[in-house]
Amino acid sequence: MKIKLKVLIVAMFASIILTACGSKNTTDTSLKDIKEKKELIIGLDDNFPPMGFRDKSGEIVGFDIDMAKEVGKRMGVKVTFKPVEWDGVILSLNNKDIDAIWNGLTITDTRKKQIAFSKVYLQNKQIIIVKNKSNISSKIDLKDKTVGLQMGSSSESALSSDSPLSKSLKEVKKYSNNTEALLDLNAGRIDAVIVDEVVGRYYTNKKTGDYKVLNENLGVEDYGVGIRKTDTSLTAEIDKLLGEIKSDGTANTISEKWFGKDITNK
C-alpha cells in the first residue's frame, strides 16, 4: 500500500507540473510581443483600391492603410505593410509571416474556422450606381434596362441571388474591371452598374455630380481584421482601438477622405 501511495503521489505531482507547463506554453503574449518589437506587420493585396493600393509614387495607400496606421499610432508601434499572395494570405498569417490581415477582408464562416476576426468595422454593400440625371431611382426602374458589373465579382453573385431583378433586366454586360463598367455608364452604353460600395463610392467620389447611388442595395458583407485564433490579447486591443477611432470621429474623417461619406460600421 505504501509503495502504491508513493507512486500515486509522484503521479499527481507530475500531472501538476505538466499542467503548469502546458498552461505556460499556451499563455497568449501576442500584444506584449507586438509592443516589445514595436512593429505590427499587416498582410495585404497591394492592388485593391481604395482599401490598399500603390499610388503613382509607389507608396501603399488606402482606407484600410489609414485605419491600420491610426491603430498602430494609438498602440505605440510602427505599422509595416507586407504585400502577400492573396490566395495564401491566411496561411501567411498562421505561419506568423504577418501579424494581421487588414485589406477589405470579408468575414465568412469558412474563414472563421481558420482565423479570428476583429469586430466588424465596415459593412460593404452591393450598390447600384446610375448617372446623376437618370430617372432610375429604384430597382423596379431597372426593368428592361442594361446593367454592367465586373465578371466573377461579388456583384455578379449578388445579382444572381436577386431573381426578380435579374429576370427583369434586358441585358447584363460583364467587364474585366469596374472602371470599364463605369466608363460605359458615363458614355450611356449601359443604364446602371452594380458594384462593391467601397469601390463604387471611391470612383464616384472623384467624379462628383456625374453619378448617384440608389438607396436600395443587393446585400451586405462584413469586413474585419483577420488575426490568429491564439492571439486573443491582440484581437482585444484592436477591437478597443477601433471602438475609440469610431467614437471620436477619426473613422468618419478617414471614410470621408476615401468615399465621400462615412460608411464605417457603427
CA-CA-CA-CA torsion for 87, 197, 64, 41, nearest 10 degrees?
A: -10
Contact 242, 164 (CB under 8 A): no
What pLDDT is recorded for position 23? 44
Common-topology check for domains 30-121+224-259 and 123-221: yes
Q: Domain locations in the chain?
A: 30-121+224-259, 123-221
Average pLDDT over the chain, rounded to an integer: 90
Contact 220, 161 (CB under 8 A): no
CATH match for 123-221 among 3.90.1150.10, 3.40.190.10, 3.40.50.720, 3.40.50.2300: 3.40.190.10
- CA gap 235, 103 in Å, rounded: 16
pTM of structure: 0.80
Report the percentage of the chain scoring pLDDT > 90: 80
Contact 203, 260 (CB under 8 A): no
What pLDDT is recorded for position 2? 46
Classified by CATH at the fold level, domain 30-121+224-259 comes out as D-Maltodextrin-Binding Protein; domain 2 (3.40.190)
Give the lowest-confidence range in 9-13, 21-25, 140-144, 238-242: 21-25
Over residues 102-118, the pLDDT tens digits come to 999 999 999 999 999 99
Over residues 187-221, the pLDDT tens digits come to 999 999 999 999 999 988 888 788 999 999 999 99
Angle between helices 250-259 and 63-75 (to 10 degrees): 160
Residues in the chain: 266
Q: Is pLDDT at 47 greater than 90 in this prediction?
A: no
Can the peptide bond before residue 50 be classed as cis, meaning omega within 30 degrees of 0? yes
What pLDDT is recorded for position 135? 95
What pLDDT is recorded for position 58? 96
